[in-house]
Amino acid sequence: MQNRIEQIIRSKNLTPSRFADEIGIQRSGLSHILSGRNKPSLDFIQKILHRYPDVDIEWLLTGKTRKEEIPDLFTTRKEDKQPEKKAEEKEKAEEKEKPVLPEFKVQKEKGKKVVKVLILYSDYSVEEYRLSND
């Protein structure tokens, strides 16, 4: 997996330090993974997939893909073409772009409120829906 992480970094034209900053981990932690000292944690993998949803999860985990042809592992997204925004501004913009579902009744525990629904498809793509504008 170390080689695939390095491939992601190269394909995004990032330095390892910038990549660590973008996915929200310590630079030293990434250095340990890239050197082979540590293995990537589930949290680390989730951070990559959250920041770069265009990365094929199966390829990242196994190095293989179900597609017969050469996979398009890294596609250009609309936000990649825009000028660099601060991370906080990007998160706010992403939240506003997510569709909002109408309120629906769910059985829930006291004090807990459902705020988000994630749909995971068989091709490992994900859709995220906010349940309110709160």
Q: How far is CA 100 from CA 18, 70, 91, 125, in A?
A: 32, 35, 16, 19
pTM: 0.49
- 2-84 folds as 434 Repressor (Amino-terminal Domain) (1.10.260)
**If pLDDT is split at 50, 70 and 90, which confidence band does 37 have?**
very high
Q: How far is CA 66 from CA 28, 59, 74, 125, in A?
A: 33, 9, 16, 14
Domain residue limits, the chain: 2-84, 98-134
- pLDDT tens digits for range 11-26: 889 999 999 999 999 9
Burial of 82 (0-12, 13-18, 19+ CB in 10 A): exposed
Instruction: Give the up-direction half-sphere exposure of residue 91: CA atoms within 13 A in the CB hemisphere.
Output: 7
Alpha-carbon span 42 to 134, nearest angstrom: 29
